[in-house]
Amino acid sequence: MALMEIVGLNHRYGEQKVLENINLNIDKGEVFALIGPTGAGKTTVLRLIDLLEVPSAGEIYFDGLRIPESGKQRLEVRRRMSFVLQKPRVFNLSVYDNVAYGLRWRGERKDKIDKKVNKILEMVGLKGYKDRNAHTLSGGEAQRVALARAMVVEPEILLLDEPTANLDPVSTERIEQIISYIIERRNTTMIMATHDMSQGQQLADRIGVIINGKIVQVGDAKEVFRLPKDKEVANFVGMQNIIAGRIVTNAKGIVMIDIGNNVIQAVSDCPVGEEVYAGIRPEDITLALSKSESSARNCFCGKVSKVASLGPVSRVEMDCGFPLVALVTSISAEELDLEKGREVYASFKATGVHLIKRQVGDTL
Amino acid sequence: MLEIWHGLIKALELIVSLDPEVMEIAGRSLRISVTSCLLASSICIPLGSLIHFHNFRGKRAVINIIQTLFSVPTVVVGLFVFVLFSNAGPLGTFDILFTPIAMVIGQMILITPIMLGLTISALSGVGKEIVDTAISLGASGFQTALVVVRESRYAVLAAVTMGFGRAISEVGCALMVGGNIRGFTRTITTAISLETSKGDLELSIALGIILLSLALIVNVALNRLQQR
Ligand SMILES: Nc1ncnc2c1ncn2[C@@H]1O[C@H](COP(=O)(O)OP(=O)(O)O)[C@@H](O)[C@H]1O
Ligand SMILES: [Mg+2]
């Protein structure tokens, strides 16, 4: 039986419908990531799960128990969870008191509190900060206090809302390390919201994609990343090339897709005549100066329209009769002498093309 | 002019020599105002929390009334207490008119609105995020309220200080329900207002200086606390 079961959850703020028919099962010990763009409703889902708010409709079961809409039971269940809010606020007290609060509220004995707080502060690397006022901490340190005070009560479920949003890269790595440590050592069930694809992929066993208040896809990280179910998910997981077309032939699992002025080949068992989108990740496209260098089934000649350096990689936009975006290492961008107007050959494998069924009337 | 100068010198002498009468009056003022301030705090902080944390019909109106009463004239409060405890009044049997108890009651009534109002606004200064954080870490409703009071402790302290300031500096009520009885209900402000008209400038100036110093000390201490 799932530790947390969410059935038909709907939520509105005033007139605005924020969540629509959310269904989720989270197993004991599982790490589940809720990913989606800002405003999709991730925070709202976590707030409902943590019983901070009452859903407009739907049910939440915790460990088989149906959560009532009011009453003492909500507090009891809430005390079995911890929630690190999106913008964690530390109390204007010492670091020690910040972390000890949750235990005091649960009526723990003083000597036990002392032991647990010290241990958890050591885990997050804030042992020497016990007596500091928490308001004097940096953003990353405050986030570690927030993690520590959530973990010190040994929750059955830990809820994390964008645990590294607004942090610098070094602090982000530190927090991710601590989260990994918690996952490995504590075996805590975890539900985290993030708009950072790679973070979800890195930390979670299973990912749910939420867009516009609806869960559009649930699966393991690889599946969501490689095989997005629809155009919105594809867009969100970084499939930047989404080209509309129609299947014209299917020979032993290799299909030809007519995209108007060109044909793209893909591996699929889609029937002929099907309207589809061809999704291609920009990092799956290789660029070369001549055609012969590539063995990929798809190869198009195009003119570079824009090159943007993103540090170690460069984003190359080109026009091959249809727009195409590729990510190449900055070194090869330099070697190919890529600049606006240059002619290049873009190639990608048939297996690198992911087909998404298209509803007629769907527009790009 | 010379008379005032003499008065000032003699006043300083009274203070430095710890003149028994000056000390006695100052001490009584402090005792009465501290008592009324502590009693009012013990009502206003819980009551303010109750009003702040509960949503009820007419909440806005209640807060408006409280704020209007910030500037209730001291003599009106004096009159109210006087009528209440006078021989013919409803609580006349307690026979506490012209005693320090009546003065404490008067000051409590006087400063309750300002303490209550400032406590409520201090609590509203604590963001929703703090409340959510407490609840999400397993605090009950009451425990959450305690967290909010604790987070706003300096602002609440400021509310208490404002109340104390108003209590120790008011004269109308203290005079009406205390009566400025020497050695019994005479306080700094009643002494100043009555002794000045009798020509005892030295005593008045000495008490005035002490009153100002008290205000200064309290304010400096509060500022220190808030800056920590
Ligand atoms: N307290 C609130 N009152 C009104 N609207 C809200 C409130 N909280 C969130 N919303 C709205 O609900 C939607 C989802 O918000 P949220 O759950 O915070 O999204 P996410 O966490 O994915 O960024 C947004 O459109 C947001 O404006
Ligand atoms: Mg959010």
**What is the ipTM for the molecules in this complex?**
0.81
pLDDT value of residue B223: 82
Residue B228 CA to residue B224 CA, distance in Å, equals 7
Q: Best mutation site among A80, A83, A93 for testing chain B: the one with the most B CBs within 10 Å? A: A83
Could you read off the pLDDT of B49-65 as tens digits, one per residue? 999 999 999 999 999 99
Find the range with the poorest average confidence among A75-79, A219-223, A245-249, A317-321.
A219-223
Q: Name residue A276's amino acid.
A: V
Q: How confident is the model at residue B94 (pLDDT cuts 50, 70, 90)?
A: very high
pLDDT value of residue A225: 81
Checking if the pLDDT of A364 tops 60, the result is no
Residues in chain A within 8 Å Cβ distance of B134: 101
Checking if the pLDDT of A85 tops 90, the result is yes
**What is the chain A residue with the closest CA to B143?**
A105
Q: How confident is the model at residue A213 (pLDDT cuts 50, 70, 90)?
A: very high
**B127 and chain A: CB distance < 8 Å anywhere?**
yes
Ligand 1 contact via A70 beta carbon (within 6 Å): no
**B124 and chain A: CB distance < 8 Å anywhere?**
no
Which of the pair, B80 or B227, is modelled with greater confidence? B80
- For chain B, percent helix, then strand, then coil, each to nearest 5? 80, 0, 20
Checking if the pLDDT of B165 tops 80, the result is yes
**A102 and chain B: CB distance < 8 Å anywhere?**
yes
Q: How far is A344 from chain B (nearest CA, A)?
A: 53
pLDDT value of residue A210: 94
Which of the pair, A194 or B218, is modelled with greater confidence? A194
pLDDT value of residue B133: 96
CA distances from A326 to A76, A184, A266, A348, B196 (A): 52, 36, 18, 10, 91
pTM as predicted: 0.83
Q: Which of A92, A93, A149 sits opposite B137 (nearest CB)?
A: A149
Residue A8 CA to residue B69 CA, distance in Å, equals 51
Find the range with the poorest average confidence among A66-70, A299-303, A333-337.
A333-337
C-beta contacts of A8-17 below 8 A and 24+ residues apart: A8/A57, A8/A58, A8/A59, A9/A45, A9/A48, A9/A55, A9/A57, A9/A58, A9/A59, A9/A60, A10/A55, A10/A56, A10/A57, A10/A58, A11/A41, A11/A44, A11/A48, A11/A53, A11/A55, A11/A56, A11/A57, A12/A56, A17/A213
Q: How confident is the model at residue A293 (pLDDT cuts 50, 70, 90)?
A: low
Q: How confident is the model at residue A224 (pLDDT cuts 50, 70, 90)?
A: confident
Using alpha carbons, select from A46, A43, A39, A6 the residue that is nearest to residue A25: A6
Checking if the pLDDT of A361 tops 60, the result is no
What is the distance in A from the centroid of ligand 2 to the CA of A197?
A: 14
Q: How far is B50 from chain A (nearest CA, A)?
A: 19
**B150 and chain A: CB distance < 8 Å anywhere?**
yes
Q: How confident is the model at residue A237 (pLDDT cuts 50, 70, 90)?
A: confident
Q: For residue A334, report the phi and psi dihedrals to the nearest 5 degrees.
A: -70, -45
Could you read off the pLDDT of A171-205 as tens digits, one per residue? 999 999 999 999 988 779 999 999 888 888 889 99
pLDDT value of residue A294: 63
Pinpoint the alpha helices (H) of chain A: 42-49, 72-78, 95-105, 110-123, 139-151, 169-186, 197-203, 221-226, 231-236, 330-335
The pair of three-digit structure tokens given for residue A228, joined into one six-digit string = 């997005």
pLDDT value of residue B226: 75
Checking if the pLDDT of A229 tops 90, the result is no
Q: How confident is the model at residue A324 (pLDDT cuts 50, 70, 90)?
A: very high
Ligand 1 contact via A41 beta carbon (within 6 Å): yes
Residue A155 CA to residue B38 CA, distance in Å, equals 41
Residues in chain B within 8 Å Cβ distance of A106: 138
Could you read off the pLDDT of A34-63 as tens digits, one per residue? 999 899 999 999 999 999 999 999 999 999
> Angle at which helices B153-169 and B100-124 pack, to 10 degrees?
150
Neighbouring C-beta atoms of residue A102, cutoff 10 Å: 27
pLDDT above 70 coverage of chain B, percent = 100
State whether B140 and A105 contact (CB < 8 Å).
yes
Checking if the pLDDT of B192 tops 60, the result is yes
If you average pLDDT over residues A59-78, what whole number do you get?
93
Q: How confident is the model at residue B219 (pLDDT cuts 50, 70, 90)?
A: confident
Q: Name residue A233's amino acid.
A: V
Q: How confident is the model at residue A226 (pLDDT cuts 50, 70, 90)?
A: confident
If you average pLDDT over residues B99-125, what whole number do you get?
96
Residue A228 CA to residue A74 CA, distance in Å, equals 37
State whether A101 and B136 contact (CB < 8 Å).
no
pLDDT value of residue A292: 67
Residue B167 CA to residue B111 CA, distance in Å, equals 7
Look up the CATH superfamily of B23-227. Answer: MetI-like (1.10.3720.10)
Q: What angle do CA B37, B40, B45 make, to 5 degrees?
A: 115
pLDDT value of residue B93: 92
CA distances from B67 to A183, B72, B113, B120 (A): 53, 10, 7, 11
CA A327 to chain centre: 21
Pinpoint the alpha helices (H) of A191-263: 197-203, 221-226, 231-236
**A55 and chain B: CB distance < 8 Å anywhere?**
no
- Nearest ligand 1 atom to alpha carbon A86: 21
Checking if the pLDDT of A87 tops 60, the result is yes
**B64 and chain A: CB distance < 8 Å anywhere?**
no
pLDDT value of residue A234: 86
Ligand 1 contact via A38 beta carbon (within 6 Å): yes
The pair of three-digit structure tokens given for residue B227, joined into one six-digit string = 């800056």
Q: What angle do CA B197, B202, B203 make, to 5 degrees?
A: 75
Q: Name residue B200's amino acid.
A: D
Ligand nearest to the CA of A210: 1
Most distant CA atoms of chain A, gap in Å: 75
Atom 10 in ligand 1: which residue has the minimum CA distance? A13
Q: How far is B92 from chain A (nearest CA, A)?
A: 47
DSSP state of A94: B
Query: Are B214 and B172 contacting, i.e. CB atoms less than 8 angstroms apart?
Result: no
The pair of three-digit structure tokens given for residue A53, joined into one six-digit string = 């708010």
A296 in the Ramachandran plot: left (φ > 0), alpha (ψ -120 to 50) or beta? beta
- For chain A, percent helix, then strand, then coil, each to nearest 5? 30, 35, 35
Checking if the pLDDT of B196 tops 80, the result is yes
